[in-house]
Amino acid sequence: MNPIERLGLAALHRLDPERAHDLSIFALRSGLVPLPGQAVTSDRLRLRLAGLDLPNPIGLAAGYDKNARALPALMRAGFGFVEIGAATPRAQPGNPRPRLFRLTEDRAIINRFGFNNEGAQAIAARLARRPKGIPVGLNIGANKDSPDRSADFAEVVRIAGAHADFLTVNVSSPNTEKLRDLQGAEALAALLQGVLAARDALPNRPPVFIKIAPDLDEAALADIAAVALAAPVDAIIATNTTLSRDGLASTHAGQAGGLSGAPLFDRATRILARLHRKTGGRVPLIGVGGIGSAEQAWQKLRAGASAVQIYSALIYQGFSLAAQIARDLDARLAREGVTLAELTGSGNADWL
């Protein structure tokens, strides 16, 4: 972390978390954040995932730039791919404030935003104007007051899907009441059928991913694996935030919402490993949850991920983290003489 970034983070941490988040988006858009300018890449880091060419396997998870306002800057921040959103068909304000909490002692975050966003039309327009570069995906969700939440997902695909490189079906946010019910086998299969039909009508036919919760039991995880393989989806993102509060020290531990950051690492990685085993490596997995170093990215890859995403660690370590993880991962791949493909799933049994 360079001195400018360190000072900027210290200043932001003196502010209300959501105000700091909004200011960080403004700083990115204004060119005030030091960025590498392009993705760190090498022959060892490049990969093809779900038909997408990634310069490196380090992505930005959805939720940071919900409305694609800082997308050109994020595409120059060192990531191999970026996911924005979640987008819903209609704009909605989300849940009442305060709804974002730093758990500094735990290197964690709790949020209960509730899919606050400006709506699929506004987000689609920004996606369409983005510069060429790394793949950019759109996380899609449902309006809180929708009479048919399943249909909302397909509607976002119809509105914005033609401008995205991939689409992520988000049925795992804990902050929209009963949304996680859509992870059930029958409901998920029906939802995906509608999403895939809408996707197939697009000129670009972007790959479709699903994002799952870290709080699934063995039967639910088996159902999701079976539905994903049958649909078929192009990748699974494991995982979203957790409702668990195990082992937290912060005074904010009792806040409602989804927990992300360092405490999520083990829980999310175990789900990832079990999912890799249940799918037999037949669908690519993207590992998310608690990654703050190249070592933790390495462990996600060993557990079964083909690529990873980060978000909460950026709040504590800054945007230079993406490039740092990519460089450190590249050096370790060279040192140990393995490829990304060979690394994926190589330590799966350690997490079961």
- Residue 81 DSSP SS3: strand
Catalytic residue among 24, 150, 173, 260: 173
Compute the distance between CA of residue 112 and CA of residue 110 in angstroms, rounded to an integer: 7
Is 146 a residue of the active site?
Answer: no
Q: Are 257 and 176 in contact (CB under 8 A)?
A: no
- Dihedral, CA of residue 344, residue 346, residue 350 and residue 351, to nearest 10: 20
- Contact residues for 251 (Cβ-Cβ < 8 A; gap 6+): none
Task: For residue 108, list its beta bridge partners.
Answer: 103, 261
**How far lies 153's CA from each of 69, 75, 83, 84, 302, in Å?**
21, 25, 16, 15, 32
Helix, strand, or coil (residue 113): coil
DSSP string, 162-206: GG-SEEEEE---TTSTTGGGGGSHHHHHHHHHHHHHHHHTSSS--
Helices (H), ranges, the chain:
3-12, 17-29, 71-74, 120-129, 149-160, 185-200, 218-230, 265-279, 294-303, 312-317, 320-336, 340-343
Question: Which residues are known to be catalytic?
Answer: 173
